[in-house]
Structure 1
């Protein structure tokens, strides 16, 4: 599908667990789907990096227990209806969709019963897993299903530039007077040809993932720049809780563009955080010790590092876990061995890194945004489930459930709110190159990214103050204007699109952090 202008039924932007689930569920309902991925394959996003697992349920579990754990981890800043929906419906969708339909090979015991583990913040052992490569196993299953589904058209190396809306893009005046601004598709950069496609859609599903790459240190893949947040913000969809960025407490301390995640499941199996002297310290900060929620553990690690003047702390699994670490955590074992660390003998040096965005595009339990015809699922959204801090292993479940729910809602509405008004579709112009100054300089783009990442890490990071946030706001506002002007003068390219999205996402997060005077969860303020 390389035509400059195309019309599709449902456009799904993003190919992680949320995007693939939405596409598959729509296809199972007999609908045609166009699925965009920015990479050359479907698994270039964060889903494939997920190590720990996905929330399910144990025999002695109850939805109310999971609900309580989520609310406690989220500082009771959660949307209770969404929490209740995930707690009750989520495990059923895991069973019906992942276990029975896609047949993900979660670890099982000798009786062929799925093994369940407990992670930080959970009162029960309810986490399904595949060793320490759960996300990779899920993505392999979803990828095979998507590529084998005739109702799904996959377009690779496609980067969405902007969401198309009736108010912002229609050339017919009558549609600008409508009270309901509608999403009608997207302008999409084709990495194969260097051209921009106009893809018009009856419904659009955003599943673009997180924004960790706007920070200096992150566990996220290169694609996680907040593009969904930036596009929806420009289109006029409501966003919420974007200040709540969760920092994972245990990323491998090493040089590199991104930090390798040491799963929370390692602590779930009994590993202890220790300082350079080998002393466990979490019990000094929280009665839950090493299984306290992530924001608590992250700040404890930072405090320990600052107090002792150390560059990192250590995660000791060798002396505290009574399992075969090579078998239970093969990915972590191999990665650590590659940098000279044997986790069966040595403690693992770890530091916090930006990991997960708890807020984003506001959606209801059906995945609907405040912009008609626009749905969203996964990390780019704010469902209200996570509140001020995410409970471990709820991210994959939330993405799965909201991808499934969005597809079901679109399918339900199809007979009633079917196709896009043809006059509206015809009134949307094709992309016009904003400028022809071939002045794109890789050095300038690299410097702008360095400014964004250092600003976010130093001023909008783990600990925030009013002076830091004001400085970040002023610096990012000026950078946004400069990049916006540059964007209007230069032919479009993938690096320029990413920079524009990343800078705007950073500005949205900073603005929200500055407005929220309350210190809570991931948004930790010291005045």
Structure 2
């Protein structure tokens, strides 16, 4: 097999909001970087799907007020310094990059007079939005800027297999005996050529997004399988808060089939929509004084409780009852998707069900995105900065991706100007990928069955409501599957479906282990026992 090797200053794995902003920030400072995406285009992941919006600032808003809202939603399990950084830097960075530079078309009455909405857990209306396709507008502008920048190389249809580290992949004794372990790039599968490339880099940024696809019902894109979590875990970087998986209360229910579900934004409830059962009775007041605008974990458990009591497959979101605005104009995407399943949101309630939505844990990262593995950064949803604590506040995810994209980009640019290029000794000591097996026994039916095992196990045992019995069962099932996959993986030629399955299984295992260890019910980690 032909081997392709290359070396760049920085390798960025993932091309959502965090990865793209990080790339642009350092490219503007003269750093050459390579961005890889598993898709055919940059806007392949979850960032593009974000409907609700991005946190800005309300009239009479103060960073302290937003800080308090984030900490309350996060059950005070947050890292205060990270929350403070988000609240202090967020609005200015947003103004500078998204409004002044990229001219993202957020809804406004007249230039500079923004429409701001409120979502669950926020004490003020401070969320900027572009109708109900904010993420799409942001990613269109970011993708264009990244693709056109002379300092950025974009490689498509690339799946990262493994992070390269001096301890695990160097053949030179100097690096083996060194106490410090450093990340020096990644092995990457090129789907265009079916070869594994050795992409060496002085710094590496993980921006691989979420983990939703390890669950039966999710709002996440097909690539959201936690590959960054699995790779960082194997490389020895520290992970944190992996038990905190946020379920979005309202994904469109269109039958029992699992897989990716269309998100019905929280902004619909922000504008006045009410959750009702199949008899049309509003039920949220029974569970929380904030009713339909309680934080997501509370709303999700309330919906599950109602579904268990009534035996129904879903509940309903009644947008026709209280919303005074033209709903179709305010939520064009949602309206169209509902029309596709013959639901008219102006007169009928929308069938909804909870779905895995956002990963509050991840690879532990500091205020600049640095991880515990030297020269490895993590930004966006795959990182754990401590901003979200035990439960994420609505519309803070895009802002976190933006802020840490900027701080990581600046930090890397500053460090690169002071450090030497990668030594020849190190470069030559990193071996190319060795394909272990040649048993051509990859069977799509087996792969689909393994995914079904992962998704059903995680949904039923490590889902919205957890207990020692359920978690123990999940742990033994996932451990068996992981071992079988390990053996299979060793003997079968590498392929995209295999890499994805391997990463998905490891991610599920890591989440299960974290959930088992934490006996305290908090936020998204709800212990029924």
| TM-score, normalised by the number of residues in structure 1 | 0.99
Q: CA deviation at 1:275?
A: 0.9
Match of 2:487 in 1: 485
**Residue 301 of structure 2 corresponds to residue 299 of structure 1:** yes
Instruction: From 357, 360, 363, give the equivalent of 1:358.
Output: 360
Instruction: Name whichever of 104-113 and 225-234 sits farther off.
Output: 104-113
For the Cα contact (< 8 Å) 1:341–1:348, is it kept in 2?
yes
Match of 1:185 in 2: 185
Instruction: From 410, 416, 419, give the equivalent of 1:417.
Output: 419
**Residue 31 of structure 2 corresponds to residue 12 of structure 1:** no
Paired residue secondary structure (1:109): strand
Partner deviation per Cα, 1:6-34 (whole Å, 9 max, x = no partner) = 11111000000011101111111111110
Alpha-carbon distance between aligned partners in 1 of 2:178 and 2:203, rounded to the nearest angstrom? 18
Match of 1:127 in 2: 127
Q: CA deviation at 1:3?
A: 6.7
Instruction: From 426, 429, 434, give the equivalent of 2:428.
Output: 426
**Residue 96 of structure 2 corresponds to residue 96 of structure 1:** yes
Paired residue secondary structure (1:379): helix
Match of 1:275 in 2: 277
Paired residue secondary structure (2:279): coil
**Residue 201 of structure 2 corresponds to residue 201 of structure 1:** yes
Q: CA deviation at 1:310?
A: 1.6
Match of 2:46 in 1: 46
Instruction: From 368, 376, 387, give the equivalent of 1:374.
Output: 376
Runs of 5+ in structure 2 lacking a partner?
A: none
Instruction: Name whichever of 419-428 and 38-47 sits farther off.
Output: 419-428
Alpha-carbon distance between aligned partners in 1 of 2:62 and 2:489, rounded to the nearest angstrom? 52
Q: CA deviation at 1:44?
A: 1.3
For the Cα contact (< 8 Å) 2:3–2:432, is it kept in 1?
no
CA-based RMSD: 1.0
How does 1:137-286 map onto structure 2 within 5 Å? 137-255=137-255, 256=257, 257-286=259-288
Paired residue secondary structure (2:347): coil
Match of 2:292 in 1: 290
How does 1:27-106 map onto structure 2 within 5 Å? 27-106=27-106
Alpha-carbon distance between aligned partners in 2 of 1:420 and 1:240, rounded to the nearest angstrom? 30
Alpha-carbon distance between aligned partners in 2 of 1:219 and 1:265, rounded to the nearest angstrom? 16
Partner deviation per Cα, 1:197-226 (whole Å, 9 max, x = no partner) = 000000000000000000000000000000
Paired residue secondary structure (2:201): strand
For the Cα contact (< 8 Å) 1:15–1:207, is it kept in 2?
yes
Partner deviation per Cα, 1:386-423 (whole Å, 9 max, x = no partner) = 00000000000001111111111001111223422331
For the Cα contact (< 8 Å) 2:26–2:413, is it kept in 1?
yes
Paired residue secondary structure (1:353): strand
Q: CA deviation at 1:70?
A: 0.3
Partner deviation per Cα, 1:368-389 (whole Å, 9 max, x = no partner) = 0000110010100101000000
Match of 2:25 in 1: 25
**Residue 474 of structure 2 corresponds to residue 467 of structure 1:** no
Q: CA deviation at 1:240?
A: 0.2
Alpha-carbon distance between aligned partners in 2 of 1:86 and 1:57, rounded to the nearest angstrom? 12
Runs of 5+ in structure 1 lacking a partner?
A: none
For the Cα contact (< 8 Å) 1:379–1:395, is it kept in 2?
yes
Partner deviation per Cα, 1:103-126 (whole Å, 9 max, x = no partner) = 111011135412111110000111
Paired residue secondary structure (2:58): coil
For the Cα contact (< 8 Å) 2:3–2:195, is it kept in 1?
no
Instruction: From 335, 343, 346, give the equivalent of 2:337.
Output: 335
Match of 2:521 in 1: 519
Alpha-carbon distance between aligned partners in 2 of 1:3 and 1:205, rounded to the nearest angstrom? 23
Q: CA deviation at 1:425?
A: 1.7
Match of 1:397 in 2: 399
Change in Cα spacing, 1:495 to 1:3, as seen in structure 2 (3 Å) is: same
Q: CA deviation at 1:92?
A: 1.1
For the Cα contact (< 8 Å) 1:202–1:418, is it kept in 2?
no
Change in Cα spacing, 1:306 to 1:419, as seen in structure 2 (3 Å) is: same
Alpha-carbon distance between aligned partners in 2 of 1:19 and 1:85, rounded to the nearest angstrom? 19
Alpha-carbon distance between aligned partners in 1 of 2:434 and 2:335, rounded to the nearest angstrom? 50
Q: CA deviation at 1:59?
A: 2.3
Alpha-carbon distance between aligned partners in 2 of 1:53 and 1:80, rounded to the nearest angstrom? 23
Alpha-carbon distance between aligned partners in 2 of 1:235 and 1:421, rounded to the nearest angstrom? 21
Alpha-carbon distance between aligned partners in 2 of 1:234 and 1:371, rounded to the nearest angstrom? 11
Paired residue secondary structure (1:230): helix
Alpha-carbon distance between aligned partners in 1 of 2:66 and 2:154, rounded to the nearest angstrom? 36
Alpha-carbon distance between aligned partners in 2 of 1:312 and 1:418, rounded to the nearest angstrom? 58
Paired residue secondary structure (1:203): strand
Alpha-carbon distance between aligned partners in 2 of 1:73 and 1:297, rounded to the nearest angstrom? 12
For the Cα contact (< 8 Å) 1:249–1:298, is it kept in 2?
yes
Alpha-carbon distance between aligned partners in 1 of 2:322 and 2:235, rounded to the nearest angstrom? 51
Partner deviation per Cα, 1:264-301 (whole Å, 9 max, x = no partner) = 00000010111111111111100111000000000000
Partner deviation per Cα, 1:476-508 (whole Å, 9 max, x = no partner) = 011001001100000000000000000000000
